Structure formats: structure tokens, C-alpha cells
């Protein structure tokens, strides 16, 4: 059986009414009836570094531990630096406010921060020009081939959020010396 589509003025009015009612239904569902509209802001849960997840502040955090240990070191200074090594901001390692683990640092990252290092002012017992980060060793006293000091790059993939950069390893005077190969990867 073939069904023929209606035509004429009555059919035109019916089609217009159907279209208007469908538009009204879509508008009602799309304006507030859809479960929040897919917003990603407004959360109150903690970010990777303990900040409110909706704070919008770029933050770097991590831990500083001695080689061969899992316990952190408090009282060390973590410096965020420009690409040429100028210190932009510093933070001191302390106990993590949530877990109590020593060696925690959390720093609001200023514009232009591209590298970081750890310094030992006021804390003795460490080889203060060496550190290891993400499997690479750095001799802070050397100059990188690209210019500036031989220190790790500050890689922060999350914009306007917390960035847990990981663990920075420092070398105690009493422990084994750092690897003799310092490639200064940057």
C-alpha cells in the first residue's frame, strides 16, 4: 500500500505546528533540563597539590628525598627559575599537610618559570650541586649547552591547576656519590 503525503493549506499548517512544538521541546530539554550543561568548573575537590580544583592558579608541587631513601628532607629550598636561571620564586620543603610526609613543597608558579633546582642554605649534609629527577642526573654547577645552569626543566601540563611534578632526589654527603655522567638533558 502506498501512502501519499498530504499537501495543501491544511497540511502546511500541521507541519508548521509540528515544527514549533518540536522546537519548544528541544529548547526545554536543552535549557537546564539536561543535567548541568557539561560544566567542568565549580568543583570543590582537592587538586594534585591540595588546592581547590577550581582555583585556577598554576601550582607545582612534589617531594625532595635523599638518594636511597623514601623519607623526605624538610628545610630545603626549591627555586623556580627562568630559562636562563634567574630565580623567580622559592619554597621550603615541609611536611605534607595531608599525609605528614616530609620533603613536600608547593609553589604558585609565576609567568616565565621554566626550570627548577634545590638549594641547601642552612641545611648541611648534602652534596649541594647535584640532584636527580625523572631518571636524569644534574650538576647544578655546570652550564647547559642551551645556556643557563644545568637544572631540570619545569614541565607543567595542566594549565591553571595543580601539577605534581614528582620526586627530586638529592645526594647525602655520607651516601654513595652521584653518577659521574651528567648529561644535563634539556
Domains and CATH numbers, the chain: 59-172 (2.60.40)
Contact criterion met (CB below 8 Å) for 105 and 78: yes
CA distance 113 to 128: 22
pTM over 0.85: no
Q: Are 63 and 101 in contact (CB under 8 A)?
A: yes
Please indicate whether residue 56 or residue 36 has the higher confidence score (pLDDT). Answer: 56
CA distance 139 to 184: 7
pLDDT for res 117: 93
**Is residue 2 scored above 90 in pLDDT?**
no
Whether pLDDT at 34 is above 70: no
Residues 133/169, Cβ–Cβ less than 8 Å: yes
Q: Give residue 182's pLDDT band: very low, low, confident or very high (50, 70, 90).
A: low
pLDDT band at residue 162 using 50, 70 and 90 as cut-offs: very high
Q: Is the pLDDT of residue 156 over 50?
A: yes
Calpha distance 72→61 (Å, rounded): 13
Q: 87, 135, 139, 84: which is closest to 110 by C-alpha?
A: 87
Q: What is the rounded average pLDDT of the residues 170-176? A: 87
C-beta separation of 110 from 80 below 8 A: yes
Task: Give buried/exposed letters for 122-132 (b at 16+ CB in 10 A, else e).
Answer: ebeebbbbbbb
Q: How confident is the model at residue 180 (pLDDT cuts 50, 70, 90)?
A: low
Amino acid at each position: 500500500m502506498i501512502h501519499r503525503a498530504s499537501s495543501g493549506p491544511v497540511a502546511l499548517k500541521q507541519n508548521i505546528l509540528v515544527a514549533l512544538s518540536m522546537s519548544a521541546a528541544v529548547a526545554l530539554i536543552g535549557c537546564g533540563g539536561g543535567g548541568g550543561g557539561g560544566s567542568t568548573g565549580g568543583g570543590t575537590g582537592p587538586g594534585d597539590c591540595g588546592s581547590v580544583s577550581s582555583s585556577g592558579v598554576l601550582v607545582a608541587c612534589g617531594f625532595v628525598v635523599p638518594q636511597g631513601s623514601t623519607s623526605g628532607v624538610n628545610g630545603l629550598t626549591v627555586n623556580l627559575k627562568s630559562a636562563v636561571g634567574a630565580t623567580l620564586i622559592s619554597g621550603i620543603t615541609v611536611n605534607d599537610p595531608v599525609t605528614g610526609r616530609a620533603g613536600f613543597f608547593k609553589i604558585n608558579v609565576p609567568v616565565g618559570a621554566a626550570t627548577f633546582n634545590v638549594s641547601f642554605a642552612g641545611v648541611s649534609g648534602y652534596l649541594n650541586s647535584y640532584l636527580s629527577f625523572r631518571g636524569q642526573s644534574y650538576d647544578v654547577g655546570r652550564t647547559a649547552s642551551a645556556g643557563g645552569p644545568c637544572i631540570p626543566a619545569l614541565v607543567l601540563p595542566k594549565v591553571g591547576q595543580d601539577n605534581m611534578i614528582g620526586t627530586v632526589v638529592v645526594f647525602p654527603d655520607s651516601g654513595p656519590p652521584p653518577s659521574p655522567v651528567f648529561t644535563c638533558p634539556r
